[in-house]
Structure 1
Amino acid sequence: MNTNKLRDLREDRDLTQADIAEILNVNQTTYSRYERGDINNIPLDVLIKMALFFDTSIDYILNVTDEKKTYKRKGIK
């Protein structure tokens, strides 16, 4: 996973790791480990929250695509 994408998404919104951790309902240390790539298996519910919050796709977060733009979602808000 390209962990720079997580950091870049967070910094683009001028947020701290603690801010994002609170939004995702995870410990700040856990979120920091996501950004550093120390944890490669991010829980699906956390990935969904990240994608929705950052208005991007899970594919972008996981480095499957470089397309930051999101796509139409089915019934998820």
Structure 2
Amino acid sequence: MQFQRLEDLRIDHDKTQLEVAAYLHLNRNVYWRYEKGEREIPVWAVIALADYYKVSTDYLLGRSDDKRPRP
């Protein structure tokens, strides 16, 4: 499964793959594989990225078009 929103959010926030990977304490190639759907993204990373971009996990995963995180 490809998570297009990972790439879209990263680009919208003017971040590089290296910057996001560093935030997650990962190698850039691991993060690249998450964006391309070549590697399963762990739950902790989904939560961390949702917090990073201030969006809901459902939005990040493409399950909703509502970006707002729930309280």
Percent identical residues: 38
The count of aligned residue pairs is 71
- What CA distance in whole angstroms lies between the structure 1 residues aligned with 2:32 and 2:21? 9
Query: What's the RMSD between the two structures over aligned residues?
Result: 1.3
> How far 1:3 moved relative to its partner?
2.0
How many angstroms does 1:67 deviate by?
1.2
**Rounded Cα–Cα distance in structure 1 between residues aligned with 2:10 and 2:29:** 15
Task: Give unmatched runs, 5+ long, in structure 2.
Answer: none
> Matched residue of 1:9: which SS?
helix
2:4 counterpart of 1:9: no
- Which entry has the higher C-alpha Rg, 1 or 2? 1
TM-score when scaled to structure 2? 0.89
Looking at structure 2, the residues matched to 51 and 8 of structure 1 have their Cα atoms a distance apart, in angstroms, of 13
Cross-structure match for 2:32: 32
TM-score (norm 1): 0.83
Runs of 4 or more above 4 Å deviation: none
